[in-house]
Amino acid sequence: MSKGTTLNMAHFFGTSTEKATFCSSLLATLKQRGCVKLQNHGIPDEEIHKLFDMTKRFFSLPLEQKMTIKHPPQANPNRGYSFIGQENVANISGYEKGVGPGKTRDIKETLDMGSASDSLVDNLWLAESTLPGFRAFMESFYDRAFETELHILSALAIALGVDGEKLKSMHDKAENEFRLLHYPAIPASELADGSKTRIAEHTDFGTITMLFQDSTGGLQVEDQEELGTFNDVESSGPTEIILNIGDSLQRLSNDTFRAACHRVTYPPTVSGAGDGTRSGEEMIPERYSIAYFAKPNRDAVLLPLREFVTDCTPCRYDEVTAWEWNNRRIQALYS
C-alpha cells in the first residue's frame, strides 16, 4: 500500500480541524482501498511487541500442550486452539461471488479468545505454569483494543454523519473475538496448484477488524474501485493497525461501505510471486499476525441505520441479529 493509505490517528485526538480531516480521510481511504494503516492509535508500542512475543511463545509450544485447549470440532463456541487444517476459510471464500467451498485448504494454526467478562462463552486457557503471564496479558490487551475500537467507531460515525453514541451503544458489551495466527514456513511449491493457501479469500463477519502483522508480507486486500484486483498490504512494523471493514458494517451502512475481501498468499519477496512461477523448493517464511474482530453486541439488529435508507437507497437487508449473522457465517468454517 502507498504512503497515502497510512493515517496518523494522533490527529483524531488533536484539534477540531485535525480530527475532522482524519475522519474524512479514514472514510475516503476505506472506500477506495478497502483498508487503511493507522499509526499513533493509542496502544503503546511495547505492548504490541509483547503481544507478538507471547504469540510466538504460544505457538512454539508442543502440539500436545496446545491441544489441551483445543477448539471444539463445531463452529461454536469459537474459542481455543485450532490445529492446521481444522478451520477452512475456503468454505466461505468469495462471499457473494459464487465461489463454492472446498477449493483450498488453509495452512495456518490459530487461538481464539473473547472478553474475560463474556456472559455466554468462556475462554480456554493453558495452565498458568505452561506459559506464565499469558492469560493476564491477553485479557489486558483485549481491553486496550476495545478502547481503540470505540475511538475508531466514533471517527467513522463523524465521517458518515451518523449518531456516534448509537453506533457505540451497539458495540458496548465488547462481545468481540481476538485471534492469534501462525502461518508455518512451507515450500512455495505447496501453494502452486491452488489446493492450499495460507488463508483463502474472505470477508470478516464483524463491524471492523484491527490487524497487527509482522513484516513477512502476503496480506492482500481487494481494491474497492477495481474489484478483482488485490493489493499487497505491506507493514513497516508490527505496531501499525491495519483496519478493514466487515460484513456487519456493510449491512448497517446499507452498502455505503463494502466489506473488504482479503487473503494471505505469497509474500512479494518470493521469487515468481507475481507471474505464477515458483522456484523449486524456495521456502515461504513463517508469518505471525493478530486480529481483533470488533462485532456488534449479539442482540443488536443488523438492519441499515436510518441515515442510509432513502427513496433512492431502499433497505437492502433483512432483519437479523448480530449473533444470528455471526453463526450463519461461521458455521461453514468447521464443516
Q: What pLDDT does 3 receive?
A: 43
301: Cβ contacts below 8 Å, ≥ 6 apart: 319, 320, 321, 322
**Residue 275's pLDDT is what?**
45
pLDDT of residue 96: 43
Higher pLDDT among residues 84 and 17, named by residue: 17
Asked if residue 158 lies in contact with residue 69, where contact means CB atoms within 8 angstroms, the answer is: no
Residue 187 sits at φ, ψ, to 5 deg, of: -65, 140
Instruction: Give the pLDDT mean for 312-332.
Output: 87
287-296 per-position pLDDT tens digit: 899 999 999 9
Cell match 506464565: residue? Answer: 132
What pLDDT shows up at residue 2? 47
Long-range contacts of 157-166 (CB under 8 A, 24+ apart): 158/19, 158/20, 158/23, 159/23, 159/24, 159/26, 159/27, 160/27, 160/253, 160/256, 160/307, 161/307, 162/305, 162/307, 163/305, 166/305
The pLDDT value given to residue 101: 44
Q: Rank 105-109, 159-163, 272-276 by mean pLDDT and report only the highest.
A: 159-163
- Rounded CA-CA distance 20/3 in Å is 20
Ranking 64-68, 97-101, 211-215 by mean pLDDT, the lowest is 97-101
Q: Is the per-residue pLDDT at 329 higher than 70?
A: yes
**Which whole number is the average pLDDT over 320-334?**
80
Task: State the pLDDT at residue 204.
Answer: 87
Higher pLDDT, 190 or 61: 61
**How many other CB atoms are there within 10 angstroms of residue 73's CB atom?**
7
The whole-number pLDDT of residue 211 equals: 95
Amino acid at 119: S
Query: pLDDT averaged over the chain?
Result: 86
Query: Residue 172: which of 46, 268, 300 has the closest Cα?
Result: 300
Tell me whether residue 197 is exposed, middle or buried, using C-beta atoms within 10 angstroms of its C-beta: 0 to 12, 13 to 18, 19 or more. Answer: buried
What pLDDT is attached to residue 133?
98
pTM: 0.89
Residue with more model confidence, 130 or 189: 130
| Nearest one of 59, 58, 100, 107 to 86, comparing CA atoms | 107
pLDDT at 274 over 50: no
CA distance 252 to 308: 8
Q: Which is higher by pLDDT, 259 or 69?
A: 69
Would you say residue 281 has pLDDT above 90? no
Q: In which element (H, E) is residue 177 found?
A: strand 177-183
Q: What is the mean pLDDT of residues 173-199?
A: 83
The pLDDT value recorded for residue 322 is: 93
Cell numbers of 209, please?
A: 477488524
Residue type, 150: L
Q: Residue 280: pLDDT above 60? A: no
Please check the confidence at residue 308 and state whether its pLDDT lies above 60. Answer: yes
Residue 187's pLDDT is 84
**Residue 215 backbone phi and psi in degrees, to 5:** -95, 10
Helix (H) or strand (E) holding 292: strand 287-294
Q: Residue 334's pLDDT is what?
A: 58
pLDDT of res. 120: 92
What would the pLDDT profile of 221-273 be if each residue is shown by its tens digit? 888 888 888 888 887 778 999 999 999 999 999 998 888 888 877 777 775 54
Helix (H) or strand (E) holding 63, with range, is: helix 63-66
pLDDT for 144-171, tens place per residue?
999 999 999 999 999 999 999 999 999 9
Assign 99 a pLDDT band (cuts: 50, 70, 90): very low
